[in-house]
Structure 1
Amino acid sequence: MGDFNSDIDNTLICLHGGRLAVIPTEAGLMLSADATNDLAVMALLSVYANAQQPVILIADQRDLLQFVSAPDLAVFDFIEELSPASATWFSGILGISEQLLDANRAAPIALVNDNFNNTLIKRFRKPLVVIPLDNAALNAKAGVVCSTHTSAIANGFSLYNFAPSSY
């Protein structure tokens, strides 16, 4: 296993440079990019034309309030009930690359639960966008490949829609 702090530092350098990084998440190894950088997002999306839905990673509820316009506060209770490696669809997203949003300005967002990604996103001060990675593309596009600092408990993110009337 690589050094935690070195992996964080190297990943930050890579992301600040607009490059892609392979990071460990609870949903498995993911190819990641700065979700606010159009060129980085374009590079990420070009890796897999028919990949699983990209997911935006944020560090905490405060970040959610920064990037989602007027969310129903009951969503925080909903998110608490989800298992790790889950993402929730939100509309009214602000400050994220348009390439990640549908016609309703919606995209799936996951709050990270692991120390590595929480530290990475808090130090980066921006959300990340991730897509699942297969080993064939591991070194093809990534500027850095982190060690496994997080145990994967799923193979990809489970996506959920929040229905405010149920809370």
Structure 2
Amino acid sequence: MLKEEINKAFEVLKQGGLILYPTDTVWGIGCDATNAEAVAKVYALKNREDSKSLIILLDTDNKLQSYVSEIPDVAYDLIEYSEKPLTIIYSGAKNLASNLINADGSIGIRIVKHNFCEQLIQRFRKPIVSTSANISGEVTPANFGEIRQEIIDGVDYVVDLEQMSSEKKQASTIMKLEPDGKFAFIRK
């Protein structure tokens, strides 16, 4: 079942499509983080201004240097010791779709700790976009049952895992981390 869902999601990502998938936090709308056309589809589906950047998921912190110019050493400790899912905004984003990178050159990245996501990213060999499965400005759905039909209909594939779970999940903590190690919490 898991392998089958990874294969289906992989094919959709490879073709520039959108997936709706479970993560270590809330359900996410995802696409290839290096494909600007796919990223544009996410903004359109969410009715979100493309000046508000999206975050990406990686399966391991070893891949950070492929997408960020300077990684402060403290980032690795923060990732390792964080009790709950943590998205870190880094300066100097690179090798990503240009419409994904914030105007100041930063990108939010979460090292995901979720079996499906980790295996999908390993198979895809690229980061994937993860943004809450809602229309911009609306409340973030805490589980699959709260996702609007408009979002479900707007993606190319809905991953058939964890849909029946009624567990209320929360979005990740977001922290901006400067190259000199200074940081600030954006969302706790």
Same fold (TM over 0.5): yes
Counterpart pick for 2:32 among 25, 29, 34? 34
Q: After alignment, is 93-102 or 10-19 more displaced?
A: 93-102
Q: Which ranges of structure 2 fall in alignment gaps of 5 or more residues?
A: 135-146, 184-188
Do the aligned partners of residues 154 and 83 (structure 1) sit closer, same or farther apart at CA in structure 2, a change above 3 Å counting?
farther
Deviation, 1:98, is 1.2
Q: SS of the counterpart of 1:140?
A: helix
* One-letter amino acid matched to 2:18: L
Does residue 147 (structure 1) correspond to residue 147 (structure 2)? The answer is: no
The amino acid of 2:54's aligned partner reads P
Higher relative contact order (CA closer than 8 Å, sequence separation 6+)? 1
Equivalent residue pairs, number: 164
Higher strand share: 1
**1:74-113 to 2 correspondences below 5 Å:** 74-113=74-113
Query: Contact between 1:88 and 1:162, CA under 8 Å: does it hold in 2?
Result: yes
Structure 1 runs of 4+ off > 6 angstroms? 150-153
Alignment check: 8 A CA contact 2:53 2:100 kept: no
How is 1:13-162 mapped onto 2 (pairs within 5 angstroms)?
13-50=11-48, 54-134=54-134, 135-136=147-148, 137-148=150-161, 154-162=169-177
Tell which deviates more after alignment, 53-62 or 35-44: 53-62
TM-score (normalised: structure 1):
0.88
Which amino acid is the alignment partner of residue 159 of structure 2? Answer: C
Q: Percent identity among equivalent residues?
A: 23
Distance 2:68 2:118 in 1: 19
Distance in 2 between residues matched to 1:40 and 1:50, nearest whole Å:
14
Which residue does the alignment assign to 1:12? Answer: 10
Whole-angstrom CA distance in 2 between matches of 1:156 and 1:49: 19
Question: Which consecutive residues of structure 1, in runs of 5 or more, have no partner in the other structure?
Answer: none
> SS of the counterpart of 1:28?
coil
2: CA distance, partners of 1:48 / 1:41: 11
CA-based RMSD of the aligned residues comes to 2.2
Using structure 2 for the length normalisation, give the TM-score. Answer: 0.79
How far apart are residue 138 of structure 1 and its match? Answer: 3.6
